[in-house]
């Protein structure tokens, strides 16, 4: 399947840990990218290659994968982490797909 | 500092054409694959096209194949997207994005340019 699914919304108390997931058959082969997007801004890559962070991304962001599910974890969530988070991957035909996104609310 | 700056968006009637540009700076443009990704506000991003580092390989999403053409000028450090026969469903913010390492993961994005195909 080329579909990638994400939970529509999650919330976390300030300073607590939150995990969001991305599921799809292509994730068994292709490690996803995770992007943070705030209103009116471009997406920002926060995790790739399962658990690599681009330069400038805080280490409270981490990733993991198991089977057809990949996860993004924020440890010690801050107010500025409130955003939409998208994962993207590919299916076996090479079709690039994005998940529907998870809206993170920091309480 | 890596920068990608898009321009060329605007309002166009269905059936019309637009050419988007993306000027790159802060990195060796000719070393990277580049992409266009579009997004309707409030919806998920959608990949539409990519081009390899020397411009010899291009790939398109089914939704734009035959209507859109991606190209680049490595002397001017500029990526282009020629959009013909525009449809209302092409209305979106168009982002150019740098490919991290050939695997459809993008480590830098421009700020986007809005294209609206409407009568």
Q: What is the pLDDT of residues B89-103, one digit of tens each?
A: 999 999 999 999 877
Tell whether A53 is within 8 A of chain B (Cβ): no
User: A48 contacts in B (CB within 8 Å)?
Assistant: 100, 105, 107
pLDDT band at A92 (very low <50, low <70, confident <90, very high): low
Strand (E) or helix (H) holding B60: strand B58-60
User: A96 contacts in B (CB within 8 Å)?
Assistant: 47, 61, 104
To test the contact with chain B by mutation, choose from A7, A42, A51 the residue with the greatest count of B C-beta atoms within 10 A, namely A42
For the CA atoms of B46, B95, A85, B33, what is the dihedral angle to 10 degrees? 80
**Burial classification of residue A25, based on how many CB atoms lie within 10 Å of its CB (0-12 exposed, 13-18 middle, 19 or more buried):** middle
At residue A30, the pLDDT reads 86
How would you classify the pairing of strands B113-117 and B10-12?
parallel
Using the CB atoms, write b or e for A29-60: b if 16+ within 10 Å: ebbbbbbbbeeeebbbbbbbeebebbeebeee
Asked if B105 and A45 count as a contact pair (C-beta separation under 8 A), the reply is: yes
Which of B44, B46, B112 is closest, CB to CB, to A42?
B112
- Residues in chain B, pLDDT under 50: none
How would you classify the pairing of strands A61-66 and A44-47?
unpaired
pLDDT band at A90 (very low <50, low <70, confident <90, very high): confident
Residue A9 pLDDT greater than 60, yes or no: yes
Asked if A25 and A91 count as a contact pair (C-beta separation under 8 A), the reply is: yes
Residue A1 pLDDT greater than 60, yes or no: no
| CA distance linking residue B16 with residue A5, whole number of Å | 35
Collapsing DSSP states into helix, strand and coil, what is residue A28?
helix
At residue B90, the pLDDT reads 98
For residue A32, the 8-state DSSP code is: P
Residue A2 pLDDT greater than 80, yes or no: no
């Amino acid at each position: 399947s080329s579909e990638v699914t994400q939970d529509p919304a999650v919330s976390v108390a300030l300073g607590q840990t939150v995990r969001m997931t991305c599921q799809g058959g292509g994730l068994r082969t292709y490690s996803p990218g995770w992007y943070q997007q705030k209103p009116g801004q471009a997406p920002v890559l926060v995790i790739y290659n399962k658990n690599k962070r681009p330069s400038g991304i805080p280490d409270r962001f981490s990733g993991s994968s198991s089977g057809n599910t990949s996860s993004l974890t924020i440890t010690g969530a801050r107010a500025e982490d409130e955003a939409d988070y998208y994962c993207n991957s590919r299916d076996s035909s090479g079709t690039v797909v994005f998940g529907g996104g998870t809206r993170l609310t920091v309480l | 500092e890596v920068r990608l700056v898009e321009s060329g968006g605007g309002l166009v009637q269905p059936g019309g054409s637009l050419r988007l540009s993306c000027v790159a700076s802060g990195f060796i443009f000719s070393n990277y694959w580049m992409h266009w990704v579009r997004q309707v506000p409030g919806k998920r991003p959608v990949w539409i096209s990519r081009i390899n580092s020397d411009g010899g390989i291009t790939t398109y999403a089914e939704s734009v194949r035959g209507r859109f053409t991606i190209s680049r000028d490595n002397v001017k450090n500029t990526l282009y997207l020629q959009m013909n026969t525009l449809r209302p469903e092409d209305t979106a913010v168009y982002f150019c994005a740098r490919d991290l390492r050939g695997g459809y993961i993008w480590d830098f994005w421009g700020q986007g340019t809005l294209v609206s195909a409407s009568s």
